[in-house]
């Protein structure tokens, strides 16, 4: 019997090859031929799965987002059945920063996708929709935390969402070795500590928190 090809698995392998091209050589080398070579296949084989560079890039970005979600879901399991909203937000923010190899690969993929989106309206619309969904999720968590008394009632959830997402801007400073990972974590924790000052148990919660 001939071996059955798992097309989803093959597409994921191509996506990972694309990530490596972006991470190691930069977006300027992000061509279908370069990705095919990195994936160990011919250009014709790659085109069997992706008809265009845009289709390949869009799948790779979707896969990167899925992998970030998988890491967040895994982290949530370690937080227990009823995780503190501060810990949930910290996990979400830190998984969007290049603090470890997997996050660094998906972070660089995201940066390449944004550059592409600036010059391609279809990619721009797709990227914007993804970011809006992510922003909506963060705002929902903040609204619930305010309703539950973890965050002061006079805080504006929309503004606080924007400020939290702005922390992902540390990516550039980390990638260019301006500041290190521990400095980033210290800044993220300081921001979250200020945000959750209304939580009566926050001081004890912070003292018991691991890095």
From 25, 115, 10, select the one nearest 61 (Cα to Cα). 115
Q: How far is CA 127 from CA 29, 60, 161, 162, in A?
A: 21, 12, 18, 17
Q: How far is it, in rounded angstroms, from Cα 46 to Cα 183? A: 41
Q: Is residue 205 predicted with pLDDT exceeding 80? A: no
By residue range, what is the domain housing residue 79? 53-207
Q: Is residue 202 predicted with pLDDT exceeding 70? A: no
Tell me, yes or no, whether 12 lies in a domain: no
Angle between helices 121-147 and 101-117 (to 10 degrees): 130
Tell me, yes or no, whether 168 lies in a domain: yes
Tell me, yes or no, whether 160 lies in a domain: yes
CA neighbours within 13 Å on the CB side: how many for 52?
Answer: 4
Tell me, yes or no, whether 127 lies in a domain: yes
Q: What percent of the chain has pLDDT over 90?
A: 64
Residue 28's pLDDT is 81
pLDDT digits (tens, 9 = 90+) for 20-71: 998 888 888 889 999 999 999 999 999 999 999 989 998 998 998 898 999 9
The CATH number linked to 125 is 1.10.357.10
Tell me, yes or no, whether 33 lies in a domain: no
Tell me, yes or no, whether 5 lies in a domain: no
What number is the average pLDDT over the span 71-96? 93
Residue 3's pLDDT is 52
What number is the average pLDDT over the span 188-208? 72
54 vs 158, which has greater pLDDT? Answer: 158
From 44, 185, 23, 166, select the one nearest 193 (Cα to Cα). 185
> What DSSP character marks residue 208?
T
What number is the average pLDDT over the span 174-186? 96
Residue 74's pLDDT is 93
Residue by residue, DSSP assigns 84-117 as: -HHHHHHHHHHTTS-SSHHHHHHHHHHHHHHHHH
What number is the average pLDDT over the span 171-186? 95
187 vs 203, which has greater pLDDT? Answer: 187
Range name among 1-5, 45-49, 161-165, 184-188 with the lowest pLDDT average: 1-5
Tell me, yes or no, whether 11 lies in a domain: no
> What DSSP character marks residue 63?
H
Count of domains for the chain: 1
What number is the average pLDDT over the span 111-139? 90
Residue 211's pLDDT is 44
Predicted TM-score (pTM) of the model is: 0.82
Residue 86's pLDDT is 96
Structure tokens belonging to residue 121: 């309206």
Angle between helices 85-94 and 181-195 (to 10 degrees): 150
Q: How far is it, in rounded angstroms, from Cα 191 to Cα 185? A: 10
Range name among 15-24, 51-60, 107-116 with the lowest pLDDT average: 107-116
> What DSSP character marks residue 27?
G
Tell me, yes or no, whether 26 lies in a domain: no
Sign of CA dihedral 155, 76, 109, 122: negative
Q: Is residue 2 predicted with pLDDT exceeding 60? A: no
Residue linked to tokens 């924790």: 189
Q: How far is CA 102 from CA 106, 130, 136, 144, 183, in A?
A: 6, 20, 24, 30, 20
């Amino acid at each position: 019997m001939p071996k059955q090809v798992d097309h989803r698995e093959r597409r994921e392998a191509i996506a990972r090859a694309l990530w490596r091209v972006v991470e190691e050589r930069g977006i300027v080398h992000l061509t279908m031929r370069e990705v095919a070579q990195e994936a160990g296949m011919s250009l014709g084989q790659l085109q069997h799965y992706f008809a265009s560079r845009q289709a390949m890039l869009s799948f790779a970005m979707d896969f990167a987002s899925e992998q970030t979600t998988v890491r967040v879901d895994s982290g949530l399991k370690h937080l227990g059945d009823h995780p503190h909203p501060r810990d949930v937000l910290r996990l979400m923010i830190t998984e969007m920063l290049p603090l470890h190899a997997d996050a660094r690969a998906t972070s660089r993929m995201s940066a390449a996708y944004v550059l592409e989106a600036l010059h391609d309206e279809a990619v721009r619309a797709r990227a914007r929709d993804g970011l809006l969904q992510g922003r909506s999720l963060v705002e929902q968590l903040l609204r619930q935390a305010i309703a539950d008394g973890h965050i002061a009632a006079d805080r504006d959830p929309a503004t606080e969402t924007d400020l939290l997402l702005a922390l992902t801007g540390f990516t550039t400073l980390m990638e260019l070795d301006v500041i290190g990972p521990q400095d980033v974590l210290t800044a993220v924790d300081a921001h979250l500590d200020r945000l959750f000052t209304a939580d009566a148990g926050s001081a004890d919660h912070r003292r018991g928190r691991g890095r």
